[in-house]
Amino acid sequence: MRSLNTRETDVYMADELAGDLAALMAPYQKEKIFVVTDVHTHQLCFPAISALEGISEERCIVVGAGDGAKNTESLIQIWQALVEGGATRHSLLINLGGGMPCDLGGFAAATFKRGIDFINIPTTLLAQVDASVGGKTGINFMGYKNEIGSFMQAKHVLVDTALLQTLDGPNLLSGFAEMIKHAYLKDEALLERTLAFDFENYDAKELSELVAASIRLKDEVVTADPREKGIRKALNLGHTIGHAFESLALKRRQPVLHGYAVAYGMVAELYLAQQKLGFPGELVQQLRSYVDKVYGRFAFSETDFDELYQTMTHDKKNQAGRMNFTLLRAIGDIAINTHCERDEVLAALRAYLAPQS
């Protein structure tokens, strides 16, 4: 395995998943190691590590799949299994799965006996470049996403892009949207390389290198601001409008994957950045053409503006009733806490709706 020499989260790119995990598990007592996974990943990915000494079906905690299972019931299921399985303060929890098992298992580890070590093995692209790195753990509560949680860094994150072979096209694209976001935050070279990635002639080595670059960018930001007091808000690029699109789609019972909503949201927020901060128009058009082609277009109309705006007013980045966005002045030139008025936001939504020039 190859260390990415990241600072806040200790991330490795796997060469051979089972052997690499065995090395990371070596300091722990074998009968004190537990795995958290969901029903799908248990079937698809658990066999890749199940033969290792220290990994056992009895100490594999299988929770329900999907964001709906990121709840108190699953958390209690994990705590109970840890207690019943004789876990101690020196136990290790291995979270194997997408963002949900990583967030949930991380929170269970952060709270069990005031904190035990955990290793994330993210199995989706979204989790590899985002959820598994950076120390955010938690569950949804009373209808609010990630309402209860804590910051706690994984002891290690082991990323194996070969696991992505089990991922369907839309889920791959969903994670890729976060990589595009990271590239906008980093620089032109990474953006150019990312947008040039060819999904038709999938080059696994190129994807692995882009994933590594994306994780490094995320770790750089998290290292500068682990608790999201400032620059970590940069990671919310595309998410304020993106979350509003995601909520609207969910309400219509036509859910869109998170990364698709972020891709649409990034286009709308680059229009906002052009308007507010002079972000170059030709670069907005470049992203718009790319997103239209690869992700399609989010269908909504002016009649949805009130509802979309209302959802945005609940965004965590708002302060004292002011609507704040993470925007860009240029690629890599980040402007967090950019206050935007309702008219400006609606103008950006109108620009998204307008036919492409």
Using CB under 6 A, list all residues that contact ligand GLY: 130, 134, 136, 228, 232, 235
In whole angstroms, give the CA distance from residue 137 to residue 36: 14
Nearest approach, Cβ of residue 347 and ligand GLY (Å): 27
Cα distance between residue 340 and residue 311, in whole Å: 15
Smallest distance from ligand GLY to CB 136, Å: 5
Closest by CA to 257, choosing from 287, 285, 293, 298, is 298
Residue 114 vs 229, nearer CB to ligand GLY:
229
Long-range contacts of 303-312, Cβ-Cβ distance < 8 Å, separation of 24 or more: 304/248, 305/346, 305/349, 307/248, 307/251, 308/241, 308/244, 308/245, 308/248, 308/349, 309/244, 309/342, 309/345, 309/346, 311/243, 311/244, 311/247, 311/248, 312/240, 312/241, 312/243, 312/244, 312/345
Burial of 220 per CB tally in 10 Å (0-12, 13-18, 19+): middle
CB nearer to ligand GLY: give 130 or 269: 130
**Closest CB 218 distance from ligand GLY, rounded Å:** 7
How near is the Cβ of 229 to ligand GLY at its closest, in Å?
12
Nearer to ligand GLY, 44 or 312 (CB): 312
Q: DSSP letters of 187-208?
A: -HHHHHHHHT--STT--HHHHH
Task: Please state, in angstroms and rounded to a whole number, the distance separating the CA atoms of residues 154 and 20.
Answer: 16
Least distance from ligand GLY to the Cβ atom of residue 316, Å: 11
Of 136 and 155, nearer to ligand GLY (C-beta) is 136
Q: How many CA atoms lie within 13 A of 240 on its CB side?
A: 31
Smaller CB separation from ligand GLY, 252 or 314: 314
What is the rounded distance in angstroms from the CA atom of residue 67 to the CA atom of residue 100?
A: 6
Query: Minimum distance between the CB of residue 317 and ligand GLY, rounded to whole angstroms?
Result: 11
Structure tokens at 19: 């052997």
User: CA nearest 194: which of 202, 205, 204, 206?
Assistant: 206
Q: How far is the CB of 201 from ligand GLY (least distance, A)?
A: 30
Residue with smaller CB distance to ligand GLY, 50 or 318:
318
CB nearer ligand GLY, residue 54 or residue 238: 238
CB of 232 to ligand GLY, least distance (A): 5
Residue closer to ligand GLY, measured from CB, 136 or 288: 136
Q: Which CB sits closer to ligand GLY, 134 or 238? A: 134
The 3-class secondary structure across 299-335, one letter per residue, is CCCHHHHHHHHHHHHCCCCCECCECEEEEEEECCEEE
CB of 15 to ligand GLY, least distance (A): 26
Decide if 266 contacts 334 (C-beta within 8 A).
Answer: no
